[in-house]
Chains A and B, each alone.
Chain A
Amino acid sequence: EAQVTQNPRYLITVTGKKLTVTCSQNMNHEYMSWYRQDPGLGLRQIYYSMNVEVTDKGDVPEGYKVSRKEKRNFPLILESPSPNQTSLYFCASSFNDGAYEQYFGPGTRLTVT
Chain B
Amino acid sequence: QQQVKQSPQSLIVQKGGISIINCAYENTAFDYFPWYQQFPGKGPALLIAIRPDVSEKKEGRFTISFNKSAKQFSLHIMDSQPGDSATYFCAATNSRFRRGSARQLTFGSGTQLTVLP
Contacts and interface: CB of A to CB of B under 8 A. Distances in A.
A21 to B, nearest CB: 14
A96 B103 CA distance: 9
Given A42-B89, A42-B110, A98 B44 contact: no
A44 B45 contact: no
Report whether over half of chain B's contact residues are helix, strand or loop; otherwise say mixed.
loop
B107 interface: yes
Interface string A33-58: 00100001111110010100000101
Q: How large is the interface on B (under 10, 10 to 19, 20 to 34, 35 or more residues)?
A: 20 to 34
A42 B107 contact: yes
Interface residues of A, number: 26
Nearest to A109: B41
A35 B110 CA distance: 14
A102 interface: yes
B52 interface: no
B61 interface: no
B54 interface: no
B43 A4 contact: yes
B104 A98 contact: yes
24 contacts: A40-B9, A40-B109, A42-B108, A43-B107, A43-B110, A45-B105, A50-B101, A56-B101, A56-B102, A90-B43, A97-B98, A97-B104, A99-B32, A99-B93, A99-B94, A99-B105, A101-B34, A102-B46, A102-B105, A104-B44, A106-B41, A106-B43, A107-B41, A107-B43
Given A56-B101, A99-B105, 13 more contacts: A40-B9, A42-B89, A42-B108, A43-B107, A45-B104, A50-B101, A50-B102, A92-B43, A97-B104, A98-B103, A101-B34, A103-B45, A106-B42
